[in-house]
Structures are given as C-alpha cells and as structure tokens.
Amino acid sequence: MKGVLKINFFLKRKQRCFLFEIYRSAVMSLLLLVFIPVIIRAQQQGNLYLRKGNKAYDAKNYKDAEADYEKALHDKSAAVKGKFNLGDAYFRQGQYDQAVEAYKQALSLTKDKILTAHAYHNIGNCEMEQKKYEEGIKQYENSLLNNPSDDDTRYNLAYAQDKLKQQQQKQNNQQQKQQNQQQNQQQQQKQDNDKQQQKQPQQQQQQNISQQDAQRILDALNNDEKNLQAQMQKKKANPKQDTIVKNW
C-alpha cells in the first residue's frame, strides 16, 4: 500500500509539473502574440520615418528630415541608420559639431566596416568645412583603414593634405609679414631717434647763439644807458639859463 501511495504521489507531482509547463508555454505564447505585433509596428514605424526623412532630405528639406530621423531613433533597429542620416541632415544645415556627434554615435552602434568608413569619411568632411584640415586628414585616414578601396576618400585625403600645406604656407607668410613690419618699425624708430639726436646739438648751438645775441643786446643797452647818464651829468654841471622877458 505504501508503495502504491508513493507511486501515485509521484504521478501526481509529475502531472503538476507537466501542467505548469503547459501553462507557462501558453503565457509565453500569449505574450509573444501581444508584443510581437508591437515590436513589428515599432520597426515598421522606424523604417517609415527613415523613408520619410530620406524623401525630405532628397527634397533639400533638411529641417524636416532632421525631425523624421529623430523619430526613427525610437526604433533600435533603425538607430544606426537614423543617427547616420541625422548627421547628414545636420551637415547640410551647417551644424557641423552636431553632425560629428551624430556620426560618432552611429559609430558606437555598429561594427560594419563600410558604414564605419562612411561615418569617418563624413566626419572628415565636417572638419574640412571648418578648415580643420589636419583633423580632416586623420578622419579620412581612419575611413581608409576600414575601406581602403574608397576612391572618394582617397581624393578627399589628397585634397585635405593640399589645403593643409596652403594653410601652413599662408600662416608662414603672415608670420614673415609681421616680422618684416616689426623690423621696419624698429628701423623707422631708430632713424627717428638718430634724427632727434642730430637735432639736439643744432638746437643747443642755436640756443647758445641766441644767448650770445641777447648778451650783446644787453651790453649795447648798458652802454647806451652809460652814455645817457654821462650826458645828464654834463647837463647838470653846466645848466642852461633860460631868459625871461618881462613886460613892465
């Protein structure tokens, strides 16, 4: 009896486990039936916004394209393309820093060599638009590491290297021009100082001459005054008698 009881209990336990598995499978199936359409709709929405954004982009409505690509980012399956295309929309609007950030986010979401090469290529274009030629060269080189056969990137790399040389030459010319201006200013200052030093003895000489002339004038005045005093003394010694006529 005890043996039968044990067997019956074991059978009941096995039946319960079986029923639980059936229940769990049913729940999982129900959840899948509920969420799979939601996931599919989300993916469809993501792809829908990508296509809508691409249409606006092709029509050069870059602000509208930006908004659609932002909406596509809610779908993780469309995140890489959404970020990449969002970078393109920013680029066309001249928002180069935002474009670089979007491309870098796309890079963090993918390991695809071609897409990675394209992202680095476009980052290089952003740097070139801001005349950051040295940084642009680095980005084009990163692009070629992932896709060495890209002729467009090789062309842009050569162009960036040429622009960097021109920029450096221009900077060197400006520095040389500044140095020449400083040297000219120093030479002009030296000439002005030399002229000033030459004028000082002449001015001193003119001043001395003027003092000598003044002294001669004073001496002459003194002599005149002495002569006048001598004449006055003579008049006092021999006074002139006036004649008075009286009528009486």
Per-residue pLDDT for 42 more than 80? no
pTM for this entry = 0.60
**52-107, pLDDT tens digit by residue?**
999 999 999 999 999 999 999 998 888 999 999 999 999 999 999 999 999 999 99
**147-187, pLDDT tens digit by residue?**
999 999 999 999 999 999 999 999 998 888 888 888 888 87
Q: Which is higher by pLDDT, 165 or 201?
A: 165
Give yes or no for a contact between 104 and 127, defined as CB atoms under 8 angstroms apart. Answer: no
**1-18, pLDDT tens digit by residue?**
333 333 344 444 445 555
Per-residue pLDDT for 36 more than 60? no
Give yes or no for a contact between 54 and 65, defined as CB atoms under 8 angstroms apart. Answer: yes
